[in-house]
Amino acid sequence: MYAVVQTGGKQYKVTEGTTIEVNRVGDEAGSALTLDNVLLVNQDGSVKIGTPTIEGAKVEAEVVKHTRGKKLVIWKMKRRKGYRNKNGHRQDLSLLKINKISA
């Protein structure tokens, strides 16, 4: 059984017991979280597709921890103008453990 959920503007394929890395959610570590934007559920070969979401379907997850992503370097330069700009970015992430998928 797997589902496709949407959170933080991105879509993730999840199964029970897996851990996914998503954009930071507001809950503290160790708390339960319910993802309501379920786009697709495949349960033993029977596929339900939402328009755009499936009503009544939800994915229950637990926030394992909050972390930060790998550093990305943003480098801007204009030739012959003396303009150079180096900047960095680290995305705030949350680790979610998927506990239950209900359709």
Q: How far apart are CA 97 and CA 100, in angstroms?
A: 10
Q: How far apart are CA 15 and CA 13, in angstroms?
A: 7
Look at strands 92-102 and 10-15 and give their pairing: unpaired
Look at residue 26 in the predicted model and tell me its pLDDT. 87
Number of folded domains in the chain? 1
Parent domain of 39 = 2-102
Look at residue 69 in the predicted model and tell me its pLDDT. 97
Q: How far apart are CA 69 and CA 61, in angstroms?
A: 20
pLDDT along the chain (103 residues), means of 10: 94 96 92 95 93 94 96 98 98 96 90
